[in-house]
Amino acid sequence: MLKIVVFIDWYKPAYKAGGPISSIYNLIELLGDEMEFYVVTSDRDLNEKSALEGLKYNQWVVQGKVKVRYLSKNQEKRRFLIEIIEQLSPDRIYLNGVFSYFYSVLPLFLFRNYPIIISPRGMLISEALKNKSFKKRCFLLVMKLVKGYRNVIWQFSNKKEYLESQKSVFIKNYYTIPNLTKRISVKSILENSSFELISVCRVNEIKNIHFFLIVLKEVDFECNYTIVGSIEDEEYYNKIKGLIRELPPQVSVQFVGPKPYYEIEKQLAHSSLFISTSRNENYGHSIIEALGNGIPVLVSKACPWNQLESFHAGYRLPFIKSIFLEKLKEFNVKSKEEKYQYKKGARAYYQKFANPINFKNSYIELFEDKA
């Protein structure tokens, strides 16, 4: 049985970092009976100063199909990483992201004698590189000069991520395999008496929430818009609050903050339409989770999911406010029967393109590759 050590900055019960945490958890659920997984992670959630409560730190904790080691701040040292890897002697090391010093960069240089797989989690896409651009580009330049990525295997979630990453890093061996969402089983699809919109995302400039709020200024029917996610950019959040004050009385907007997945599922169950106007979406876990829960989606062209309309699962649109408004109005006036067909279409789309079982063999091949 292959032994895999996963390095990631945050892991369950942390949830504020969103997609990467879900991807690793779902990967282990998919392959944990056939491979032995160990996760090395921090003891806290994204942007939190205090440790997660109710956990045992600096020791292996069994959680279902995986053993997790939550490192306290005083254990985030080079010698402890070396101890862990010498103790386990893994067959593969799986890194998530490229810019985290302790959980990405340091393991890459310390453990060159082990087969290393890197999933950059969208961090090398041009839109993502604009944030702290100078620092990131300097780092990537140094990595090119020292040939830091010469022997790794890359895992990209789609062809676009591969093509954009190619501009910044050396790529010899790579796989293109979608990230993994939860295996979702919906027993019944609820009908809504009101028009309920929802976004699940971190609140920052890239997620482009203000674009949709400007669209809502032109809405002439009643609707409720719920935004689930942590506030990453206080200045941007204040900008959004200003736009909300300008909305017509028939439009209600509420922020509910970050939520664990089981609470998000409850929110989704009562939603009519999922919204994403993100300027950069490498995968979009929340989009796929909405579709899996039978919620059609209205997303921007920056999201990677095509063929939504042909499945009656939603719409993928250019960044043109009038087109978003038109589709919003169009969906609002659909009959109950038509909306129900879209909910069924959302489920069908999920089963076709995102059900984790579809990608099991590809992930096995990735981890069995010795490069």
Q: Residues 100, 174: one domain?
A: yes
Residue 187 placed within a domain:
no
pLDDT digits over 273-307, tens only?
A: 999 999 988 888 899 999 999 999 999 999 989 99
Q: Residues 244, 151: one domain?
A: no
Residues of 59-90 as b/e, b for ≥16 C-beta within 10 angstroms? Answer: ebeeeebbbbbbbeeebeeeebbeebbeebeb
Q: Residues 156, 295: one domain?
A: no
Residue 27 placed within a domain:
yes
Q: Residues 308, 225: one domain?
A: yes
Q: Residues 226, 102: one domain?
A: no
Q: Band the pLDDT of 190: cuts 50, 70, 90.
A: low
Where are any strands of DSSP class E within 32-190?
36-42, 60-63, 66-71, 92-96, 116-119, 153-156, 173-176
Q: Identify the residue with better confidence: 216 or 191.
A: 216
pLDDT attached to residue 189? 56
Q: What region does 195 belong to: left with phi over 0, alpha with psi -120 to 50, or beta? A: beta
Residue 322 placed within a domain:
yes
Q: Residues 14, 96: one domain?
A: yes
Q: Residues 166, 100: one domain?
A: yes
Give the integer Cα–Cα distance in Å for 346 and 295. 6
Residue 53 placed within a domain:
yes
Q: Residues 157, 223: one domain?
A: no
Residue 324 placed within a domain:
yes
96 forms bridges with which residues in the sheet? 119
pLDDT digits over 9-29, tens only?
A: 999 999 988 889 999 999 999
Containing domain of residue 250, as a range? 196-353
Give the pLDDT mean for 61-69: 97
pLDDT attached to residue 194? 85
Residues 6+ apart with CB under 8 A from 289: 181, 182, 184, 200, 261, 264, 265, 268
pLDDT digits over 327-358, tens only?
A: 999 999 999 999 999 999 999 999 999 889 99
The residue type found at 238 is: N
Q: Residues 220, 318: one domain?
A: yes
pLDDT attached to residue 186? 62
Residue 214 placed within a domain:
yes
Rounded to two decimals, what is the model's pTM? 0.82
pLDDT digits over 313-323, tens only?
A: 999 999 999 99
Residue 189 placed within a domain:
no
Residues 6+ apart with CB under 8 A from 351: none
Alpha helices in 53-191 (DSSP H): 78-88, 106-110, 126-129, 133-145, 159-165
Domains contained in the chain, number: 2
Give the integer Cα–Cα distance in Å for 30 and 39. 15
The CATH number assigned to the domain holding 90 equals 3.40.50.2000
61 forms bridges with which residues in the sheet? 68
Give the integer Cα–Cα distance in Å for 22 and 258. 14
Q: Residues 69, 155: one domain?
A: yes
Q: Residues 60, 97: one domain?
A: yes
Q: Residues 267, 175: one domain?
A: no
Q: Band the pLDDT of 181: cuts 50, 70, 90.
A: confident
How many Cβ atoms sit within 10 Å of the Cβ of residue 335?
Answer: 8
Residue 116 placed within a domain:
yes
pLDDT attached to residue 183? 74
pLDDT, the chain, mean: 93
Give the pLDDT mean for 124-137: 89
